[in-house]
């Protein structure tokens, strides 16, 4: 900040600021605050787009008895507990590798990044076909190694691992973020540690990890929040593997095989927009909101230091 | 063997012991082999989709990897089985308009958050981050009811019009870039009596071109790939399907063979990959910007 310019010059009138912010202020009210309040309101009602009826806490009570909702919660938590760490560790490993390559860094970075751009529907279709024992090469490859391959997206206990593989394939964005973080670690720290006789693992634990910790935390929280919204891949995999779909007039129940890929947002979607139990869908929405906001708060606490001071 | 053998150590520096050198070479080989193996695994599914797309229907149902006959006609067949041009047009309309609207509304907001001092600035930023983290399913029911009341629930407009109100992720990303531009540039313009809008358009935007390009590309591809949105709005009307909605129902809807399904898949993902190769730097730099340091 230069001293020569009086701070007053930067302090523009309230109207200027409001004018610049106006699209978002309106958006926050219309697309954030209002629907949130309305979600709370509808959660006490039975509503199907035609008749609105006050039912008190009935929707909340139903949540306790709704087996599918808890299956959906369990499946979603499975993905948070398995897929998020798998993606983070894999991305970090690949990033470490690419950063240390002496030749072809740009080429490998491009190759590893590419799948993350593949449209989710397209990627999921490819994976369902790829992992299908009858049509894909994975079965033959595993067979050559003496492992009998499961029927991934047709087997309730293997569908989520299949989705995890799909998630690890699309890890490119995380890898690029981690590469940037790893390249930011000051060189001289490694050199000093090497002189002190620290091995590769020690260097990683004592230097790399603490330096990239903020980036790791940020990505971990955003990954958790994205996974809470996990919808497309599970829905498409179930549709393609079961060979059914929801067309006008045809009902599709998500989760195939059995209920193994039924995630929370899918159940919300199904309740709200296929069965039109909109009041109940609002209860599910509020549960999702509570969990997502808890994760966001973790992030914002970290963020305080970051948003302070650098507002020019 | 003599110690040096032609490769002389640099003067004043101890020669690297041979064992260390062999080890370094082994590490080099191990690292690059691992990278090549990984590269094959990352590219494998894409190659597999492409090969299956060129197989005959009978062969696509076997575990064969290499097409016996190259059925280039599969791509044309996709168009006769499904209204691809219509889906393509709808997707383009959605992605194009949403991106344009998003830019017009988000750039000024990001500018204010990054470069204007005002009371409540921090709160506004925190709210943007909170909105960014808000799962779209949370607010879906009331918004759907509003759009249904306007009679637009089975069109794509509920996905396009809200981008006029700024997109939290884009605002945040742009803001991250705009704070890095030194204040001197705008201060100089202010001393000359420039208004903020002129400063934004004439001084800041030209410098922020890479960030604006990244945000636009990200949003365009977000819409291009979006499945949840077009499934919620528009999927009840076959005329309003996008590529992702159509592709997900392609096989069940048209009783179509796997080879054609993979050909359609390839047609959907090809534009994305083509654009990526032309704008690779924009992508990589943009992604790096999203991994904020805490």
Summarised one tens digit per residue, pLDDT across range A113-128 is 999 999 999 999 999 9
Q: Which of A7, A169, A278 sits opposite B141 (nearest CB)?
A: A278
3-class SS at B224? helix
Give the minimum alpha-carbon distance from B95 to chain A in angstroms, rounded to a whole number: 13
Chain B residue whose CA is closest to A286 = B138
Question: What is the model's pLDDT at position B15?
Answer: 59
Q: Which of B140, B168, B276 to substitute to test the interface with A, most A CBs within 10 Å? A: B140
Q: Which of B165, B183, B221, B231 to mutate to test the interface with A (most CBs of A within 10 A)?
A: B165
| Partners of residue A281 in chain B, C-beta under 8 Å | 140-141
Q: Check residues B19 and A284 and name the one with the higher pLDDT.
A: A284
What pLDDT, on the 0 to 100 scale, is given for residue A121? 94
CB atoms within 10 A of CB A249: 6
pLDDT of residue A8: 56
pTM more than 0.90? no
Domains, chain A, in order of start with CATH, read 67-307 (1.10.3720.10)
- According to the model, what pLDDT value does residue B16 have? 63
B84-288: what CATH class?
A: mainly alpha
Query: Best of B142, B251, B267 to disrupt the A interface by mutation (most A CBs within 10 Å)?
Result: B142
Q: Out of A23, A49, A300, whose CB is closest to B145? A: A49
Question: Which of left, alpha, beta for A286 (phi over 0: left; psi -120 to 50: alpha)?
Answer: alpha
Predicted pLDDT at B167: 93
Chain B positions in Cβ-Cβ contact with residue A256 (cut-off 8 Å)? none
**DSSP reduced 3-state for A45:** strand
ipTM of model? 0.89
What is the SS3 assignment for B256?
coil
Question: Least CB-CB distance to A39: which of B112, B141, B273?
Answer: B141
The pLDDT of residue A62: 95
**What kind and span of H or E run contains A47?**
strand A45-47
Contacts (Cβ under 8 Å, ≥6 apart) of A195: none
Confidence category of residue A147, pLDDT binned at 50, 70, 90: confident
Residues 6 or more apart whose Cβ sits within 8 Å of residue B288:
A176, A177, A180
pLDDT at A240: 87
Closest chain A residue to B291 measured between Cα atoms?
A177
A23: how many CB neighbours lie within 10 A of its CB? 23
**Band (A189; pLDDT cuts 50, 70, 90):** confident
- Chain B residue with CA closest to A117: the answer is B272
**Domain residue spans of chain B:** 25-74, 84-288
Residues on chain B touching A176 (C-beta within 8 angstroms)? 284, 287-288, 291
Residue A75 and residue A164 in contact, taking contact as beta carbons nearer than 8 Å = no
**Residue numbers in B near A239 (CB within 8 A):** 248-249, 252
Q: Is A30 helix (H, G, I), strand (E, B) or coil?
A: helix
- How would residue A1 be classed by pLDDT, with cut points 50, 70 and 90? very low
* DSSP of A223-251: HHHHHHT--HHHHHHHHHHHT----TT--
Pairs of CB atoms within 8 A across A/B: 341
Q: Judge whether B15 and B4 are in contact, CB under 8 Å.
A: yes
Residue-wise pLDDT for A206-246, tens only, equals: 889 888 988 888 899 889 999 999 999 999 999 888 877 77
Residue A284: which of A64, A54, A47, A55 has the closest Cα? A64
| B18 preceded by a cis bond (ω within 30 of 0) | no
Which residues are registered as beta bridge partners of A47?
Answer: A52
Q: Would the CB atoms of A140 and B63 count as touching at under 8 Å?
A: yes
Which of B42, B112, B187 is facing A111, going by the closest CB pair?
Answer: B42
Q: A70-106 as b/e, with b when 16 or more CB fall inside 10 Å? A: ebbbebbebbbebbbebbbebbbebbbbbbebeeeee
Say what the pLDDT of residue A248 is. 64
Answer whether B223's CB lies under 8 Å from B208's CB. Answer: no
Q: What three-state secondary structure class fits A93? A: helix
- Please name which of A305, A254, A276 lies closest in space to residue A75, comparing C-alpha atoms: A254
B126, B165, B196 member nearest A16 (Cβ) = B196
CA–CA distance, A191 with A185 (Å, rounded to integer) = 12
* Tens-place pLDDT, residues A268-281: 999 999 899 999 99
> Which among A35, A286, A312 has the least Cβ separation from residue B183?
A312
Q: Which residues from B are below 8 Å from A169, CB to CB? A: 41-42, 45
- In order along its 294 residues, chain B shows pLDDT tens digits of 334 344 444 444 555 677 778 888 898 999 999 999 999 999 999 998 999 889 888 787 777 778 888 888 888 888 888 899 999 999 999 999 999 999 999 999 999 999 888 888 889 998 998 888 899 999 999 999 999 999 999 999 999 999 999 999 999 999 988 988 888 888 888 888 888 888 898 889 999 998 999 999 999 999 999 999 999 998 888 899 999 999 988 877 766 688 888 899 999 988 888 988 888 888 888 887 776 543
pLDDT of residue A309: 41
């Amino acid at each position: 900040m230069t001293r020569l310019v009086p701070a007053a010059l930067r302090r523009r009138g309230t109207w200027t600021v409001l004018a610049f912010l106006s699209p978002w202020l309106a958006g926050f009210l219309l697309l954030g605050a209002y629907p949130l309040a309305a979600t709370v309101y509808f959660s006490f009602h039975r509503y199907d787009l035609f008749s609105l009826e006050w039912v008190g806490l009935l929707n909340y009570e139903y949540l306790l008895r709704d087996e599918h909702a808890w299956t959906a919660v369990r499946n979603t938590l499975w993905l948070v507990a398995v897929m998020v760490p798998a993606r983070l560790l894999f991305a970090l490993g690949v990033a470490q590798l690419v950063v240390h390559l002496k030749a072809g860094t740009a080429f490998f970075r491009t190759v590893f990044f590419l799948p993350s751009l593949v449209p989710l529907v397209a990627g999921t279709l490819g994976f369902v076909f790829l992992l299908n024992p009858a049509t894909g090469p994975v079965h033959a490859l595993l067979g050559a190694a003496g492992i009998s391959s499961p029927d991934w997206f047709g087997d309730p206990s293997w569908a989520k691992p299949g989705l995890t593989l799909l998630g690890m394939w699309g890890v490119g964005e995380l890898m690029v973020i981690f590469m940037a973080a790893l390249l930011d670690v000051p060189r001289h720290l490694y050199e000093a540690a090497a002189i002190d006789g620290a091995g590769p693992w020690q260097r990683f634990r004592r230097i790399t990890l603490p330096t990239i910790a903020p980036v790791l935390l940020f990505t971990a929280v955003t990954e958790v929040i994205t996974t809470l919204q996990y919808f497309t891949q599970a829905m498409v995999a179930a549709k393609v593997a079961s060979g059914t779909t929801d067309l006008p007039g045809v009902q599709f129940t998500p989760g195939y095989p059995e209920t193994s890929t039924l995630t929370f947002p899918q159940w919300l979607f199904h309740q709200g927009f296929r069965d039109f139990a909109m009041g109940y869908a609002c209860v599910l929405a509020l549960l999702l909101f509570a969990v997502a906001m808890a994760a966001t708060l973790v992030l914002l606490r970290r963020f305080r230091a970051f948003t302070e001071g650098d507002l020019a | 063997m003599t110690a040096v053998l032609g490769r002389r150590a640099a003067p004043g520096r101890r020669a690297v012991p041979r064992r260390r050198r062999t080890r370094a070479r082994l590490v080099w080989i191990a690292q690059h082999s691992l990278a090549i193996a990984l590269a094959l695994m990352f590219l494998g599914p894409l190659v597999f989709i492409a090969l299956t797309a060129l197989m005959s229907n009978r062969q696509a149902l076997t575990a064969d990897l290499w097409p016996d006959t190259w059925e280039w006609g599969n791509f044309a067949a996709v168009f006769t089985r499904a209204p691809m041009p219509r889906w393509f047009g709808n997707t383009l309309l959605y992605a194009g308009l949403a991106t344009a609207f998003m830019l017009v509304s988000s750039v000024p907001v990001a500018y204010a958050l990054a470069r204007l001092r005002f009371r409540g600035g921090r709160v506004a930023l925190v709210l943007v981050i909170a909105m960014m983290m808000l799962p779209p399913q949370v607010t879906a029911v009331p918004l759907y009811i509003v759009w249904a009341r306007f009679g637009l629930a089975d069109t794509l407009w509920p996905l396009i019009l809200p981008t006029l109100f700024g997109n939290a992720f884009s605002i945040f990303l742009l803001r991250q870039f705009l704070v890095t531009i030194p204040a001197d540039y705008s201060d100089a313009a202010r001393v000359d009596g420039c208004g903020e809008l002129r400063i934004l358009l004439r001084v800041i935007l030209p410098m922020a071109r890479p960030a604006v390009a990244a945000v636009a590309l990200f949003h365009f591809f977000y819409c291009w790939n979006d499945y949840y949105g077009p499934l919620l709005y528009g999927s009840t009307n076959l005329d309003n399907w996008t590529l992702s909605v159509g592709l997900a129902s392609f096989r069940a809807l048209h009783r179509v063979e796997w080879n054609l399904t993979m050909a359609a898949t390839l047609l959907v993902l090809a534009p994305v990959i083509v654009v990526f190769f032309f704008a690779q730097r924009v992508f990589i730099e943009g992604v790096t910007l999203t991994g904020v340091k805490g």
